Amino acid sequence: MWDSMFLSTLTPKFYVALTGTSSLISGLILIFEWWYFRKYGTSFIEQVSINHISPWISGDYRDDSPSANSSQPAQSPVPECKVWRNPLSLYRGAEYQRFYWATNKEPLTYYDMNLSAQDHQTFFTCEADAGKAEYEIMQTAWRERNPQVRLKAAHSAIEKNPDCATAYILLAEEEATTITEAEKILKQAYKVAESNYKKSQALLHQGALMEAQHRRDTNVLIYIKRRLAMCCRRLGKLKEAVKMFRDLTKEVPPIMNVLNIHENLIEVLLQMQAYADVQAVLAKYDDISLPKSATICYTAALLKARSVADKFSPDIASKRGLNNAELQAVEAIHRAVEFNPHVPKYLLEMKPLILPPEHILKRGDSEALSYSFFHLSHWKAIDGALNLLHCTWEGTFRMLPYPLERGHLFYPYPTCTECADRELLPAFHEVSVYPKKELPFFIIFTAGLCSFTALLALLTHQYPDLMGVFAKSVVNWISLPLFYLYEKVENIVPPNLLQQIIRI
């Protein structure tokens, strides 16, 4: 046969040169593919095939390469991982404790509770408390690790002074085993706090100590009113809760900077399905100069999705393309997912929810848990919203060039969130980390091809005669089916016709 004559003329040097050249070419392709992936976040071969070859075949050419769309807004410096007070935190006695009784698992970490103790000391104590037994007792009570000792200290403070509002706060948070009991204690605390506020307001200008005391009394009054509003939300008194939250958003003391009461207001309005009011709140707080949160970003996406979700079909959209309303909804989802990529798995129930911590890390798993715990029902209330989220959220990771180094709409995703979330979330919870972008198929294929040809080149160089025999055997195995098919065709087709076709 003609192939045996051809193969017999090939020397071992030919096989060495062939495998070496193949290894070099595949290696160069691999290096270029890896560089392109690092720079643009996608495979060059895949990008060319999707954006150039496929449109030419289909007759709809458009240049969407990353180099044509690489302009990005100026990125602000990456901020440090700051832990925020959870605006939707639960009650320790009425909610966290009930979880412990049911599961025998601690829902809060010591680190999280210690941060709460620091918050209470910051806002509920002042220099004017020196020499006042009840307030000195409460200063140590916030730092006490044993809950029974804390409750005992709070009762002791009330015995010494029935007007010690901070002691009532501790009892409402930890001793009350139902929301109704917590509301009852908070109403009593509110009367006491309001009386203390008016007294300190009258003495406001009598020195620095009185100013500090008035600032503390203001913080206590605002905190109690906020927790009372949250009790109303839990008990279904939504209109009353909305009124209280709206009143609180008009306050301006420094404590308002950490409470984020507008997120409570958004959540209650969503429960009432007052979407126009929610949009009005977002218009005020979703500003470029204000810090973002999962509540802001995902609520904006939910409102955009609401107008198109009930009629959205991925099959139809892929054929006709996205209309303007659908495009806005998809872009809003991409924006939200870029800010916090952990939320969709909880909303789509791909990962189990647990009780949210008392502190959250923005863009972290703790914030995703807190948002999803309270807002999952709002997404379910809008028909098709979760389906739209399911169809579009993963596209964000294909859009982002290299998210841990630079972002598209926000600063790069912080790498420190995982460590902070592990401190905030209980040990039985599997902490979500930023979804790493998988290597494209062509990079893996090229790497495998390069490694295989390099191995062949090495073996051929070391054992040229043996590899020559092996190469001839492989070629013979591959050619056997072809020659078998050729003989069958030769038996069926007249020889003259076959010779003419071969000549052509």
Please give the pLDDT value at position 435.
73
Residue 309 CB neighbours (<10 A): 20
% of the chain residues with pLDDT over 90: 34
CA distance 461 to 457: 6
Are 45 and 33 in contact by the 8 Å Cβ rule? The answer is yes
Copy the structure tokens of residue 428: 């039985």
Q: Is 359 helix (H, G, I), strand (E, B) or coil?
A: strand
CA distance 353 to 336: 19
Please give the pLDDT value at position 41.
56
From the list 326, 314, 277, the residue with the least C-alpha distance to 299 is 277
Residue 435 CB neighbours (<10 A): 15
Which residue matches tokens 């069958």?
A: 488
Question: Average of pLDDT values for 484-496?
Answer: 69
Please tell me the chain's helix, strand, coil percentages from 3-state DSSP, rounded to the nearest 5: 70, 0, 30
Residue 33 CB neighbours (<10 A): 22
Copy the structure tokens of residue 130: 């020196």
Question: Average of pLDDT values for 76-96?
Answer: 78
Tell me the pLDDT band of 191, cut-offs 50, 70 and 90. Answer: very high
Task: Please name every residue paired with 333 in a beta bridge, in sequence order, or none if there are none.
Answer: none
pLDDT tens digits, one per residue of 391-432: 888 888 777 766 776 777 788 888 778 888 999 999 999 998
Please give the pLDDT value at position 51.
55
CA distance 278 to 299: 8
Say yes or no to pLDDT of 183 above 70: yes
CA distance 198 to 37: 64
Residue 73 or 213, more confident: 213
CA distance 39 to 61: 24
CA distance 490 to 492: 5
pTM of the model: 0.71
The long-range contacts involving 471-479, CB below 8 angstroms and separated by at least 24 positions, are 471/7, 471/15, 472/7, 475/3, 475/7, 476/3, 479/3
Write out 396-464 in H/E/C secondary structure: HHHHCCECCCECCCCCCCCCCHHHHHHHHCCCCCCCCCCCCCCCCHHHHHHHHHHHHHHHHHHHHHHCH
Residue 79 CB neighbours (<10 A): 11
Are 447 and 110 in contact by the 8 Å Cβ rule? The answer is no
- Give the rounded distance of the alpha carbon of 135 from its chain centre: 41
Please give the pLDDT value at position 441.
63
Say yes or no to pLDDT of 301 above 70: yes
- Distances in whole angstroms, Cα of residue 251 to Cα of each of 2, 189, 262, 263, 266: 93, 19, 12, 15, 17
CA angle 421, 422, 424 (to 5 degrees): 60
Tell me the pLDDT band of 79, cut-offs 50, 70 and 90. Answer: very low
Please give the pLDDT value at position 235.
93
CA distance 21 to 25: 6
Tell me the pLDDT band of 229, cut-offs 50, 70 and 90. Answer: very high
Mean pLDDT of the chain: 80
Residue 124 or 13, more confident: 124
Please give the pLDDT value at position 326.
82
What are φ and ψ of residue 470, in 5° steps?
A: -65, -40
Say yes or no to pLDDT of 437 above 70: no
- Distances in whole angstroms, Cα of residue 411 to Cα of each of 93, 219, 337, 402, 454: 39, 33, 13, 11, 41
